[in-house]
Structure 1
Amino acid sequence: EKANKEKERKAKALKEKADKEKERKENALKKKAKTKEKSDKSIKAKSLKTKETKEKKE
């Protein structure tokens, strides 16, 4: 029985580790997506501003 409990404890520890790793990866992906979204918005804003500036010069 003691060996059984040890197996269960190890299995639980492995599962928790895997869950934490999965959560960490998901959070990293979310952060990356958010950063890309901000970057895309920034690029659009800059190109729009450049376009407006060109139109004003003409």
Structure 2
Amino acid sequence: MVIWFGLNMLGREMGMPGGYALVFDLAAVAAFIWALAVVWRVWRKGRELDQEGR
């Protein structure tokens, strides 16, 4: 999130077109979705281990 914010500020300061902001936003959304998927997989694995009695 900090990197996304920094890239948006840098782009604004350098006068980059809005298309770059869109690319940064899409990359941030992709990273959040990936992180959510990883957390969900870890949560499911933990539940499986609890059910097995480990």
Q: Is 2:19 the partner of 1:23?
A: yes
Q: Give the 4+ runs in structure 1 shifted more than 2 A.
A: none
Structure with higher Rg: it is 1
Greater fraction of residues in helix: 1
CA RMSD of aligned residues (A): 2.0
User: Any residues of structure 2 matched to 1:25-44 within 5 Å, and which?
Assistant: 25-44=21-40
Among 38, 45, 53, the alignment partner of 2:49 is 53
**Taking CA–CA contacts closer than 8 Å with sequence separation of 6 or more, which of the two structures ends up with the larger relative contact order?**
2
Structure-1 separation of matches of 2:41 and 2:33? 12
Displacement of 1:55 after TM fit? 0.5
